[in-house]
Amino acid sequence: MSSINIDGTDVPFEPGQTIMDAALAAGVYIPHLCHKPGISPHGSCKLCTVDVNGRAVSACTMAAAEGQKIENNTPALNEVRKSITQMLFIEGNHLCPSCEKTGDCTLQAVGYHLGMLDGHYPQFYPRREVDASHPSLVLDRDRCIMCELCVRASREVDGKDVFAIGGRGTGRHLIVNSATGKLADSDITTDDLAAHICPVGAILIKDHGYEVPIGRRTFDLHSVAETDLGEVKLTKTRHHDE
């Protein structure tokens, strides 16, 4: 079987697999937010940025190929990923203590994994619309990270087309496919994958917040990765892109 080399370890791959596919199959964690096995890859969050033979690529969209020498879990790359995670935090309103998803949020878990202490950059504090029109779902755009997992899940798995991203640049925002633009008037149901796939607290099932006590939530018990940093320095560190 052909193989790629990730951080010095040979990882087998099959034709058609991306670097991410091969890594996950071999139990090698590459940080990611917009990727989900079974949904078409997107390459937008850039958290899975790796250096392949010195070139920066997204592991989730780049096909694995013989001879690829891949840097993944290096201090420099994790520092870059921390900066990208910080960008995601500060462009939205991610106020963990008041979010129902806290403890089960992948953005938060990635922050823990990377030893993120703060947002580092000045906060954007955007004003984004909340859509609570649906009887059993709520859409809080403050927490949306534009990963488009809901967009893709709705199209590819649910066979619907409930979500899309509108706008441009920092004005990008999640929009709903209905005449009013409201979730209540769309054909989404709580049976849809799109209703559950949100990695953050932007799309939530109503009446189910804070059901799991602190200490027993997903990321109280598990790390987002197999491999993890043992300790977090409480001072700022720097990335070394250049």
Partner 1 sequence: MHVHHGQESQPGFLTQPQLNDHLLHRLHDLQTRFRHIPQPSIAELAEELQLPITQVEAVIDFYAFFHRQPRGQTDILFSNCTSCGDLALMQQLCDRLQVEPEQTRADGRISIGQASCIGMCDHGPSALVNGIPLTSITAELIEQMAALIESDTPVASWPENWFRVGNHIRKEGLLLSESFEPGSALKSMRGRNRDQLLEAITASGLKGRGGAGFSTGMKWQFCRDAESTTRYVVCNADEGEPGTFKDRILLNSHADEVFEGMTICGHIIGATQGYLYLRGEYRYLLDALNTTLQRRRDAGLLGANILGEGIDFDIAIVVGAGAYICGEESALIESMEQKPGIPRIRPPFPVTCGFRNQPTVVNNVETLAAAANIILRGHEWFETRGTWQSRGSKLLSVSGDCARPGIYEVAFGVTIEDILHDCGATDVQAVQVGGPSGSLVGPDKFSHCIAFEDIATGGSFMIFNHTRDLLDIIGKFTRFFAHESCGFCTPCRVGTTLLNNGMQKICSGHGTAHDVDELARTAALVSRRSHCGLGITAANPIRDGLKHFPQLFEARLLHQEMEPEFNLDASLAEARKLTRRDDAEAHL
Partner 2 sequence: MSKVRVATTSLAGCFGCHMSFLDMDERIVGLLEHVEFSRSPINDIKHCEPCDIGLVEGALCNADNVHVLREFRENCKILIAVGACAINGGVPAMRNHFSLQECLEEAFLDEIGVDNPHIPNDVEIPLLLSKVHPLHEVVKVDYYLPGCPPPADAFVKILTDLLEGREPALPKNMLHYD
**CB 24, CB 37: distance < 8 Å:** yes
Q: Does residue number 12 form part of the binding site for partner 1 (CB under 8 A)?
A: no
**CB 175, CB 144: distance < 8 Å:** no
> What angle in degrees, to the nearest 10, is found between the helix axes of 75-91 and 106-113?
140
Angle (CA) 147 59 85, round 5°: 45
Task: Count the neighbouring beta carbons within 10 Å of the beta carbon of residue 190.
Answer: 12
> Taking the alpha carbons of 208, 211, 216, 220 in that order, is the dihedral positive or negative?
positive
Q: Does residue number 96 form part of the binding site for partner 2 (CB under 8 A)?
A: yes
Classify each residue of 134-168 as buried b or exposed e, where b means 16 or more C-beta atoms within 10 Å of its C-beta. beebbbbbbbbbbbbbbbbbbbeebebebbebeee
DSSP state of 154: I
Q: Does residue number 169 form part of the binding site for partner 2 (CB under 8 A)?
A: no
Decide which of partner 2, partner 1, none touches 197; Cβ closer than 5 to 8 Å per partner kind. Answer: none
**CB 170, CB 124: distance < 8 Å:** yes
- From 20-28, 38-46, 92-100, 194-202, span contacting partner 2 (CB under 8 A): 92-100
Select the residue interacting with partner 2 from 66, 207, 214, 238 (CB under 8 A). 214
Least Å distance, CB 8 to partner 1, is 22
- From 128-136, 195-203, 221-229, 233-241, span contacting partner 1 (CB under 8 A): 233-241
Decide which of partner 2, partner 1, none touches 232; Cβ closer than 5 to 8 Å per partner kind. Answer: partner 2
Decide which of partner 2, partner 1, none touches 231; Cβ closer than 5 to 8 Å per partner kind. Answer: partner 2
Chain residues in the site for partner 1 (CB under 8 A): 40-47, 49, 56, 58, 61, 63, 80, 83-84, 87-88, 90-91, 121-122, 124, 146, 148, 151-152, 155-156, 161, 163-172, 175-179, 181, 238-239, 241-242
Chain residues in the site for partner 2 (CB under 8 A): 89-90, 93-99, 102-103, 108, 111-112, 115, 117-120, 122-123, 125, 127, 142, 214, 223, 228-235
